[in-house]
Amino acid sequence: MCIVDGPTEIGALQSKFKKQYYDCPEIRKGPGNGLDFSIQGYTKGVLPTIKLALTSNIRAVILLPDLERRKETFRSFSDKLKASIIEALLECTKLSKDSLQDTIFVCPPDIMFENWIVCDIEGIRASKFINDDAIQDYYDGKNGASILDKLMNTQYKKTVHGPLLFKSIREEVGIAYSNSFNDFIECLRTLIAKHCSNTYAND
């Protein structure tokens, strides 16, 4: 199961999974996010969703909260949020810490989800929404939505263009231009190989 910030991510992940794996895991909207949204606040908001998921047959939960403009690295934010969620789950479930370490994963985009969309300019250019002179660069840590809007030949609309563009990203290119996208793909590949290689058979 994936827990994301909003409808853009839901639509984008659904389109990507269905194109590449012909199936899609459950995707749920999280409690919200933002620069002033504390780790404790996010943990409290997402806890009911995770607890319910862990009582079903869901074997892994990947959370994708945007880093936003927090004054720390995306990996530091990931480590702190994962530790906070596990600590909260230990207080209200009978699951072990080791079990939760292998079940809960936090993969924040470095600033926002659009940073992952612009990690493969040539890939998303196939959508015809991207200007011919758009240049590939390392965009992690920058305002991905603003960058994407400048690269497009039309005004960027999150819920419309996000899913259309994200499904065109080539993973091997994306992971070379975005460390945060690389961490997500590594996590995803590991979990697919461990839990559902027969279900998500990549072409």
Q: Are 64 and 107 in contact (CB under 8 A)?
A: yes
pLDDT of 132 above 50: yes
Q: Which of 112, 110, 78 shows the shortest CA–CA distance to 178?
A: 110
pLDDT tens digits along 105-114 = 999 999 999 9
> Which pLDDT belongs to residue 198?
56
pLDDT tens digits along 12-67 = 999 999 888 777 789 999 998 777 789 999 999 999 999 999 998 889 999 999 99
Residues 89, 129 share a domain: no
What range does the domain containing 38 cover?
2-111+178-195
Q: How many CA atoms lie within 13 A of 177 on its CB side?
A: 22
Residues 100, 50 share a domain: yes
Per the structure block, which two tokens stand in for 29?
Answer: 């909207």
Q: Over pLDDT 70: what percentage of the chain? A: 96
pLDDT of 199 above 90: no
Residues 124, 107 share a domain: no
> Which pLDDT belongs to residue 67?
96
> Which pLDDT belongs to residue 36?
72
Average pLDDT of the segment spanning 97-103 = 97
Q: How many CA atoms lie within 13 A of 13 on its CB side?
A: 24
pTM above 0.75, yes or no: yes
Q: Is residue 172 part of a domain?
A: no
pLDDT of 83 above 50: yes
The pLDDT confidence band at residue 201, using thresholds 50, 70 and 90, is very low
For 182, counting Cβ atoms within 10 Å of its Cβ (0-12 exposed, 13-18 middle, 19+ buried), the class is: middle
DSSP 91-117: HHS---HHHHHTTEEE---SS-THHHH
Residues 96, 27 share a domain: yes
Per the structure block, which two tokens stand in for 174?
Answer: 């994306």
pLDDT of 144 above 60: yes
Q: Is residue 101 part of a domain?
A: yes
Q: Is residue 39 part of a domain?
A: yes
Residues 45, 66 share a domain: yes
Cα distances from 99 to residues 94, 150, 183, in angstroms, run 10, 44, 21
Residues 46, 126 share a domain: no
Q: Is residue 68 part of a domain?
A: yes
Residues 77, 28 share a domain: yes
Q: Over pLDDT 90: what percentage of the chain? A: 83
> Which pLDDT belongs to residue 101?
97
> Which pLDDT belongs to residue 202?
46
